[in-house]
Structures are given as structure tokens and as C-alpha cells.
Structure 1
Amino acid sequence: MRLLSLVLALLLSANLAGCANTKYNANKLPKGVAVNKSITLPVDVSVAYYVPQSKLDSRFYLDNWKVWVEPGAALNDGVRDAFNAYFSNVAMLDRASDKQYGLLVDIDPEWEFASGKAIMTMSYRIFNGSETPVREGKKTFKADIGYVGDNSGMYNAAMRATQLVIVDLLNSLKPDNQMYPATLAMKDTNPLILANLEKPVSSGTGFYINNSGQLLTAAHVLRECMVTKVQAGDKSFNATVDASSTLLDLAVVSTNEATERFLPLRKGSEVFLGETVTNVGYPLQGLLAASPNLTRGNVSSLNALKGSVGQFQFSAPIQPGSSGGPVVSEGGELLGVTVATLNAAKLIESGALPQNVNFALDARYVAKFLDKHQIQYRQVEPNLKGDIRTSNDAALSSVVQMLCYQ
């Protein structure tokens, strides 16, 4: 919904947009803004900065103009250039890195587009190497959008807003290496101090696989999450990743909360062509109510797209947010994990109109993955006398919503 609002606002603004802009020089500050003369530039304090990945990935296509608009790329370049101009030792936060820092700048950016202007507002918090907050604030800068296919206007707004943040940091903290020594490795940063826990950036579905509270979900549901939470009814738990496979698009997370209900795998993991299945998920987070969505269909093919690994096709309808949900047999056994759907929009352009072409990772591969990582699970003999009530009860009692925060 946020992206849709952004597109609509830009479309209105684009009617007023004219020639391409010239990018501002990151080494020059806006008129009336200055760094205290006692500060020698570039400052040699080790600095890390964090920007939510969802904001850096933001892009959309304007069909009327036949151009891609990339606020994320403009934001990334503007923030990077501003920090590099004023610090000699600076890097974007990498949670896999051993690199240490003395100051961490947490940036929460928001775009607005109005009257031919790109408006960047940056809320920010600054932490020292002990993760103690030392400064916070909000800065805004407006720049002409210019030609909608040129990111220069958005770059200028993002870079200038970042400069204003940096100037406030320098003038208020007057940092040096003695005051802010590089002591904390990026990989040791507490994600809870950075993530905006008031608003998830995406959601998915998971389900209990054993009684110790471990959950299965699709690996892509957890991608780029700073913090992942599990919402089970009115209870919320922090989740930690125990095992993950990009190839299989599968992950196991722990909640450390025991459960009585979980989904067993069918012994032998055989899937029968045409058998009825139930799928449960939490689709369209922020649009639909936060309750499980149950759909039914059948196994329509024992294979999936060319090149896919261990997937079958099923017809129970799914929507964004259903990824990671279980595909359950009439007997209440796990047959697969929802991982993808066919891109209908692309096929419609070619004249085809596909319906309910969805894909699940076969439980045989789930079992191999769980065995490899020594994850406990249960197998049961096929219950071929089950019905809709058995299937629905098994699926609904085990499923949870996965919430991704950045």
C-alpha cells in the first residue's frame, strides 16, 4: 500500500516535472548550513550506518513514461556519498562483518512527492560503541524531481537530508577516536535497537513441525529481516533461525515456546496426483485481517517449473504472505511447503490467463533438510480416510504468522 501511494503521488508530481537535474556535490553543504570550524574534515571516527533494506530496494515502473523510477537506488547513493564526504572510515552496516565501529547511525527514511518536489524526511538515532543512544532527531530536504526517468532529483533530496543529519552529529557530538573508539563489531550489533518494531515490512506464514516450538517456513520470508517475530493467536514470540537453505527455499526457526499441536509428515512422503489439499496462510498483511486464510484445491502436477528442485504444483489459491504455509492432506499430514506462485501478470501480457498455479516444496525434501540439520519431526502412516475436518483442524492448529521487521 505504501508503494502504491508513492507511485500515485509521483504520477501527480511528474506532470510538473521538466528537465533533468544536476546532482549536487556531496562535499558542499546547503546554503546556511555549516560544520563547526573546530572539526577537521574528514573525521576519522569509525562510523557504521543502517538503512532498512526495503527502502533501498524500492523501485517501480511508470508505464506512461516507459521508465523505471528507483527511489531506493537514489537513497543508497545519496546516503553513501554524504557519509563518504565527511568521514574517512565509514561503511553501511553488515551484520556478517567483523569490522568495528565507534558510532552507529540508524536512519529511517520516508519519501513524499508533491508539486514537482522530491521530499526526503530522515528520522535518525545515533548510538556509540556500547549501543547507548547519544543523539536523535529528524531532518527534511526538498529537491526538484526533474525528469521522472532521472534519479538526480531524488538523489539530491536524499543526499542533502543525509548531510543535515551528519552536520547535526558533528556539531552536537564533536566526535573523535578517543571519545568514540571502535569497539563493537558490526556482526554483534543488537538488531532490536535498529528495527522498527511498530510496523513490519513484510509477512509470511510458518507452522509448527515439533512440540518444542520449532517452525518451518520459506527461507525467502526471512530474507533481509532485522528481527523476525512469530504471531500465534494473541501471543507474540521472537524467532531465531536454526537452519536455512536458499536452494530449497526452506528455513527452521525457534521460538523456545513448546506447543501441543504440530504437523507430522506422511511416512514415505508420497504425494498422490489429484488428491485434495488444504493450504493455510496469512496473505496480504496490512490489507486483510490478521487471521489465517484457508483455501482448498488439489495436487495438479507432481512437477513444477523447469529447473525447480523437488516441487509439485497445487491449485489451492494463495496470495502474497502465504509463502511458508503448509500444504496439508485430507488425513492431516504435511505434503509440502508453499514457496511460489506463477507470475500471472507476465503471462497475461503474452495473452495467457493462468489460474491458481502454485508450487510447494515436496515433503520428501523437507525430511531430508530436517535430517541434515538434526531437527526433530514426526512421521505417520498415510491416513487415506481423512476428510475436510481432519485436514482443516491439522492445518489451522499448527499455523502462525511470520512478521519481518527492518
Structure 2
Amino acid sequence: MMRPVSSSRSSTSPPGAMTRADTQRPAVDDRWVGHCGSPISASAGSPLHSARPRARRRPVARLAARGMYLPGWALSGILLTGSAHAGAPSGGIQLPKDVRVPAHVSVAIYLPAQTRRWHGHGTFESGRTLEDTVLSAGQIYFSESRMAEPGADAAFGLLLALHPDIKTESGHLVYSLNYAVFAADDQPLLTGTQSVAVEGIDFDRATLRATQQVMSAVIAGMRPDDSKFPPVLNLKARSLGFAANKDKPWANGTGFYFNSSGQVLTAAHVIQDCVRIDVKREDHVQPGKVLARSNVVDVAVVDTGTTSPAFLPFRQGFSFELGEPVTNVGYPLQTILAATPNLTRGNVSARGGLTGSVGQFQFSAPIQPGSSGGPVVSDGGEVLGIAVGTLNALSLAKQGVIPQNVNFALEARYAAKFLEKNNLAFTTAEPNAHGDAHSANQAALAAVVNVQCYE
């Protein structure tokens, strides 16, 4: 039987039937256990320990020929716009009479990884993803277009960053598409928002109409062509951080300093698909760079480039006792709670995690979405583990089972092996038999940070 999961990495999700497919990890069933790294509105269905599936990409022309991309209601408007006729209406934007489409320019299109795999919900082609729909429009409006992939060396002249903002009002889907256009510089050449409203929850139609309007606005506002923007740019050595939505993080999680070099240990799923990472402590924000990660044990290291006077050691020998009291500190539910660390107390409740899992133990200190990556600390102030997940209470309640504080942490010994493999320094400390809740709390609070993921 597959097992249910609730994510404690909080993230933003669209309304209706659109779910965050990026949190689904097939290695563990998505009904029982969930990450505690918080995607900003808690996603109740993100499984533990596996890579997120990506939508399979196929040539737009071939898919269109097979009837898989453009619904009939869209074809007439797109073909009119895509003809050589100047001034043809395009998605609500009237192009100047001397402007023709497609514009002869190579465009890379950036969409947040989480939204690329959103599936349409409506009466037309509901199996398509947002990526599919955007690419189908891009092939009409630009002579060459493709998705912007991190590290890709494919040449382009412009990069178009798209960030959907979706809500429902009075039975209508209100779909706003924020956009920014970039060339060689990280400052945008053009920014704006195009909005559409459609009846019901017709995600496909709203996506296509909004994308048409954005691309028409770009062509009308910039008159792009290969002479102005030759295809000489690539992402081989350029981070996509400039294309991220910097107004708010897509997801929040927790981490902690484990050495004096400003390096932060967190859960790998907290930073998955991030193009920009900020490490925040109180009012101080430092940009983070991923030094190492492992999706197998769900752990990662982020470098802040600064020193860290307070950090947590691992317990020497990596042993712990059943019933041993522990402290957990994290930054849960950051869209609801104040941006201050949340401290909970509990005990080590079992030496094993889920059936089939490796290197996990159970603890009872309550955690919420956003707690992923937080330290599980002994009364002596030594790290015993890293919070990675919790049971999905909502899914289990439907089966008549109400779990109480069944949470999971990666054992410190596995984190230490990961650090050794990647030549990252850490310290150990002998168990402090004279420690208490106060010393544990102070040690954890001094070293914990909020890890913010931007897309």
C-alpha cells in the first residue's frame, strides 16, 4: 500500500485542481509522510526522498500536428496574429500596423520550476502543463523559443521571465502574468503585467490568453529582432537568479550553522529548484550558494560567505537514547506566523522512521511546514538529527487514524558522512550530561536560520 505525505516546506500553489507536482517524489507514497520544509502555503502531499518528476518535452510543431497543444477556440486568434498581417489582434493587445509576427528573435522563456508542471483544469486539453501552453504561444510569436534551463549553453537573444499569479473571484479565474525581459544585463529591459478573467476554472484558456497578451506587449514595446538582440547569450555560466520573483520567496525552510565558516546545513528538499537562496537571521539577509546536496538522504549545505560565531556541534559517537529529551527550532508557516524562530520540545520516540527508510529516527517535538532542515538538539546542545518530515494527519484522518507528533529526523551520523564526503568541516562534542532545556534552547536559537527559496 502506498503511504500519504504532507510537506513541511511551505510553498505557493494555484487554486482549484492545480497541485504542486514538483513535491511529488515517487520513491515514497504521498499519503503518509511529508517534508517539513515549508512551501509557502503548506502543501499537503509532498513525499519524502525522491527527485521531482519533470514534464516530458516534445517539439511543439509535432504536438500541434497531433492536436495536443492548441484548442480550437485559440487557433483562429493565434493564426490571425501569427499571419503576416500587421495590426492583427493578439490576445487583447493591438499590435502596430508595421509590426509582424513572429518576431525574428531567439527567446529563452523562464518559468518557475514549480509552475512549469502545473496541469490545466478546464474544458480544453486539460492534460497540458503550463509549460506546454506557454511554449505553444512562444512558437507563434517568436522565430525561435525554448525554455530557459539552468546551465544550458543554448544561445538566445532575450530571456522572458514569466510569473503567474492566480486567484478566483465570483466564479471567475483571474489570471495575472507578471513578466520581465532581460538581455545581457541582469536589469530588466521591460516589465509589466497582463491579466485575464475566464469563467469557471479554465486554467488552459487563461494561461494561453495571458501569455498571448504578454508576448504581444513585448513585441509591441521592444520591436525585437536578431540585429538588436543577436543570439549570443547562454546560461552556461550565468545564474537564473536575476529572473526570480524577488517580491516573496516561493518556499521557506530552516537551516543551522554547523561551523564557523558561515555554512548552513538544511534539508535538500528545502532548496530544490531554487534559482536564488537567501539565508535570513533576524534582520540580516545573506545570499546563499549551494555547496553540496544529496537527495538520497535529503541534506544540503548552503554557503553564506560570512563567518558564524555561533554554530552547533554534532554529538561525539552519534548515539542517542530512546526517551531522550530534545529541542527543535524552525521557521514554520512564514505566511501566517511572525518571522521569528519557533521552539518546541519533545523526546526521541523511536530509533526508526518509515518502513524502508534509512537513517531516520522519530521525535515528538511538534513541527509544521517550514520546519524542515531545523536541528534536533539534545539538552547538552549537540545535534542529534535534522528535521525532514512528518505524517500527513489530514490524509490519515480520512482513514480513521489521528497521528500525534509523529515526526522524522535524519540521524546526525548520516549528515556527518555527507559532510566528510564533501570535505566540509564540522565539529563534535562529548555528550554533556549536565545540560538542560535552557542550554539546549540557547544553543539551537543561536545557530538557526531561515532559508528562503526564490523561483
Q: Return the TM-score normalized by structure 1.
A: 0.86
**CA displacement at 1:51 relative to structure 2:** 2.0
* Structure 1 Cα separation of the partners of residues 454 and 127 of structure 2: 18
Q: Does 1:254 align with 2:303?
A: yes
Query: Is structure 2 residue 289 aligned with structure 1 residue 240?
Result: yes
Code of the aligned partner of 2:365: A
Residue identity in the other structure for 2:134: V
1:196 aligns with 245
Report the counterpart of residue 361 of structure 2 in structure 1.
312
Instruction: Compute the displacement of 1:394 (Å).
Output: 1.1
Between the aligned partners of 1:259 and 1:341, the Cα distance in structure 2 is 29
**1:280 and 2:340 are equivalent in the alignment:** no
The residue aligned with 1:14 is none
1:99 aligns with 2:154: yes
> What SS is found at the alignment partner of 1:185?
coil
2:418 aligned with 1:369, yes or no?
Answer: yes
How far 1:329 moved relative to its partner? 0.6
8 Å CA contact 2:119, 2:130 repeated in 1: no
Residue 368 of structure 1, CA deviation: 0.4
Q: How does 1:39-50 map to 2 (within 5 A)?
A: 41-50=101-110
1:24 is aligned, of 53, 71, 74, to 74
Give 1:326's match in structure 2, choosing from 375, 379, 386.
375
**1:300 matched to 2:349:** yes
Deviation at 1:309, TM superposition (A): 1.8
Give the C-alpha shift of residue 130 in structure 1.
4.2
Name the aligned partner's letter for residue 48 of structure 1: A
Q: State whether structure 2 residue 174 is matched by structure 1 residue 119.
A: yes
Question: What SS does structure 1 have at the residue aligned with 2:439?
Answer: helix
Cα pair 1:96 1:187 within 8 Å, conserved? yes
**Contact residue 182 and residue 189 of structure 2 kept, 8 A:** yes
Match of 1:85 in 2: 140
2:85 aligned residue: none
Deviation at 1:119, TM superposition (A): 2.6
Aligned length: 383
Deviation at residue 262 of structure 1 after TM alignment = 0.6
Residue aligning to 2:196 = 141
CA offset digits 1:71-92 (Å, max 9, x no partner): 9965333322111222232111
Classify 1:400/1:44 alpha carbon distance in 2 versus 1 (closer, same or farther; 3 Å). Answer: same
Aligned to 2:216: 167
Q: Give 2:52's aligned residue.
A: none
- Measured after TM superposition, the shift of residue 136 of structure 1 is 2.3
Letter in 2 for 1:53: A
Residues 346 and 116 of structure 1: CA distance in aligned 2, closer, same or farther (over 3 Å): closer
Range 49-58 or range 21-30, more displaced: 21-30
SS in structure 1 of the partner of residue 244 of structure 2: coil
Cα pair 1:56 1:71 within 8 Å, conserved:
no
User: Structure 1 residue 218 and structure 2 residue 270: aligned?
Assistant: no
1:381 maps to 2:430: yes
d(CA) in 2 for partners of 1:2 and 1:111? 14
- Between stretches 349-358 and 134-143, larger displacement belongs to 134-143
Deviation at 1:132, TM superposition (A): 5.0
Aligned to 2:61: none
Measure the CA separation in 2 of the matches of 1:100 and 1:356. Answer: 51
- Would the alpha carbon gap of residues 115 and 396 (structure 1) be closer, same or farther in structure 2, given more than 3 Å must change? closer
Cα distance in 2 for residues equivalent to 1:396 and 1:132? 37
Asked whether 1:52 is paired with 2:112, we answer yes
* Distance in 2 of aligned mates of 1:243 and 1:2: 23
1:279 maps to amino acid: N
Q: 5+ unaligned residues in a row in structure 2: which ranges?
A: 1-9, 18-70, 82-88
- The TM-score with structure 2 as length reference comes to 0.77
Distance 1:23 1:363 in 2: 57
Partner residue in 1 for 2:165: 110
Question: 126-135 vs 75-84, which deviates more?
Answer: 126-135
C-alpha contact 1:265 1:333 (8 A) present in aligned 2: yes
Measure how far apart 1:112 and its partner are. 3.2
Which structure 2 residues correspond to residues 148-187 of structure 1 after superposition, within 5 A?
A: 153-187=202-236
Q: Which has the higher contact order (CA 8 A, sep 6+)?
A: 2
- Once residues 405 and 116 of structure 1 are traced to their aligned partners in structure 2, the CA distance between those partners, rounded to angstroms, is 30
CA distance, structure 2, for counterparts of residue 254 and residue 3 of structure 1: 25
% same residue: 44
Q: Which range moved further: 188-197 or 35-44?
A: 35-44
1:11 is matched with none
CA distance in 1 between partners of 2:300 and 2:11 (Å): 28
Secondary structure of 1:24's partner? helix
Cα RMSD for the two superposed structures: 2.9
Q: Secondary structure at the match of 2:343?
A: strand
Q: What SS does the corresponding residue of 1:120 show, helix, strand or coil?
A: strand
What residue identity is the alignment partner of 2:147? Answer: M
Decide whether the 8 Å contact of 1:94 with 1:187 is kept in 2.
no
* Equivalent pair of 1:58/1:71 in contact (CA under 8 Å): no
Shift of 1:55: 3.5
8 Å CA contact 1:327–1:334 kept in 2: the answer is yes
Structure 2: distance between partners of 1:118 and 1:299: 47
Do the aligned partners of 2:268 and 2:293 also contact (CA within 8 Å) in 1? Answer: yes
Distance 2:436 2:412 in 1: 20
Q: Aligned in 2, Cα 1:121/1:4: closer, same or farther, shift over 3 Å?
A: closer
